[in-house]
Amino acid sequence: MPVTLEDTRGRPLQDLRISVTDRCNLRCTYCMPREVFGPGFEFLAHRELLTYEEIARLARVLVELGVRKVRITGGEPLVRRDLERLVAMLAAIPGVEDLALTTNGLLLPGQAQALRRAGLARVSVSLDSLDEEVFRHMNGVGASVGGVLDGIAAAERAGLGPIKVNAVVQRGVNDHTLVALARLARQRGWIARFIEFMDVGNTNGWRLDQVVPAREIVARITAELPAEAISPAYRGEVAGRWRYLDGGGEFGVIASVSQPFCGDCTRLRLSPEGQLFTCLFAASGFDLKTPLRAGASDAELQEAARQVWHRRDDRYSERRTELTALARRVEMSHIGG
């Protein structure tokens, strides 16, 4: 029978997000602002990163504790070489029911087919606006909308679907373009997901007045594209779902700020250098690389991970007001969104 490992709040371990690198080819203002992550920024050295074999071993240990859904993230995961090798290792682990990847899409044209052949099932692609000027400003390096659309097209040709398109919504920055993105996604058969601007890390200049709450996002979209709320597809799904009334697909909204979903969070995160994080807003992780490289057995690694989850009591989004100004939090570019 499948293992059910619960934390102190009765939340089961089901999802694992694996960040394979802290590097990225973009400098999005809400994630890796270029004034912080500039030419002099010190990223992790290659020797500090877990090898693909080490990642796969830890993933197997965590699957035995109940993980069923695995997502590869970064940074931008496609900047790490030969990623299809890791995908093949993860796809071969008994018990992995869903294997997906989050990417900015720019490198998909050269990698999508290999990733699909290795066993990747789906991709989520970040695209914050279809407006060229807005998008170039937000990604910090002048990357074009067309480059992302080319990546999505490559993913579709490879059979990596259904495609999810993620947009972080900031008031006064790109909120005036969200309906256009919803409309295109609907036409193309993608699932657009709009994400409230979050205070992840300490470098993105987060302000509450830049948050467009979920109810407003939904109101703007449904005023032009009528839709109705539908139930989550599974426990722990972070996006609220809306289905278009004419049957033309759905969109989602991730409302971490205005409608916290801590109570159903089933996610564990593994950082590039082997730290386990139990919350996207955590200040520190739990080191698994040291015992791993010191010769710990699978049973010992599993017990360490079991204790991490068993003691977990995180609920940052529910306590945001009292915690926002406290200790430094890990950056989203380090452990994935």
CA torsion through residues 199, 176, 146, 162, sign: positive
Answer whether residue 286 is part of any domain: yes
Distance CA 28, CA 81 (A): 22
Indicate if the pLDDT at residue 291 is higher than 80: yes
Answer whether residue 197 is part of any domain: yes
List, for residues 72-127, the tens digit of each pLDDT value: 999 999 999 999 999 999 999 999 999 999 999 999 999 999 999 999 999 999 99
Q: What pLDDT does residue 2 have?
A: 59
Assign 193 to helix, strand or coil. strand
Distances in Å between the Cα of 120 and the Cα atoms of 52, 116, 289 are 15, 5, 25
Percentages (nearest 5) of helix, strand, coil residues in the chain: 35, 20, 45
Report the residue count for the chain. Answer: 337
Q: Which of 51, 61, 55 is nearest to 307 (CA)?
A: 61
Answer whether residue 219 is part of any domain: yes
Q: What pLDDT does residue 223 have?
A: 98
Indicate if the pLDDT at residue 36 is higher than 80: yes
pLDDT confidence bin for 304, thresholds 50/70/90: very high
Looking at per-residue confidence, does 251 or 319 come out higher?
Answer: 251
Indicate if the pLDDT at residue 263 is higher than 70: yes
Helix axes 145-158, 132-139, angle to 10 degrees: 90
Q: What pLDDT does residue 267 have?
A: 93
Distance CA 325, CA 133 (A): 33
Indicate if the pLDDT at residue 327 is higher than 80: no
pLDDT confidence bin for 205, thresholds 50/70/90: low
Provide the b/e sequence for 144-157 (b: ≥16 CB within 10 Å): ebebbbebbbbbbe
Percent of the chain with pLDDT over 90: 75
Alpha helices by DSSP H, the chain: 52-63, 83-91, 112-118, 132-139, 145-158, 178-188, 214-224, 289-293, 298-310, 320-323, 332-335
Amino acid identity, residue 125?
V
Q: In the numeric block, which tokens belong to residue 48?
A: 């500090």
Domain ranges, residue 28: 15-335
> Whole-prediction pTM value?
0.93
Cα 91 versus chain centre, distance: 19
Task: Among 184-193, 230-239, 248-257, 324-333, name the one with the lowest average pLDDT.
Answer: 324-333
Q: What pLDDT does residue 203 have?
A: 62
What number of other Cβ atoms are within 10 A of residue 309's Cβ?
Answer: 22
CATH code assigned at 68:
3.20.20.70
Cβ neighbours for 275, distance < 8 A, ≥ 6 positions apart = 284, 285, 286, 287, 288, 289
CB 87 within 8 A of CB 115: yes
Peptide bond between residue 74 and the one before it cis (omega within 30 degrees of 0): no
Average predicted confidence (pLDDT) for the chain: 91
Answer whether residue 7 is part of any domain: no
* Mean pLDDT to the nearest integer, 314-323: 59
Q: What pLDDT does residue 328 have?
A: 59
List, for residues 128-163, the tens digit of each pLDDT value: 999 999 999 999 999 999 999 999 999 999 999 899
Distance CA 271, CA 242 (A): 32
The two counts, helices (H) then strands (E), for the chain are 11, 12
Answer whether residue 142 is part of any domain: yes
Looking at per-residue confidence, does 248 or 49 come out higher?
Answer: 49
How many domains does the chain contain in total?
1
Q: Which of 241, 172, 246, 264 is nearest to 210 (CA)?
A: 172
Answer whether residue 5 is part of any domain: no
Q: In the numeric block, which tokens belong to residue 54?
A: 């080490």
Answer whether residue 131 is part of any domain: yes
Q: Which of 170, 135, 142, 147 is nearest to 30 (CA)?
A: 170
Q: What pLDDT does residue 329 have?
A: 58
Answer whether residue 6 is part of any domain: no
**201, exposed or middle or buried, with CB in 10 Å at 0-12, 13-18, 19+?**
buried
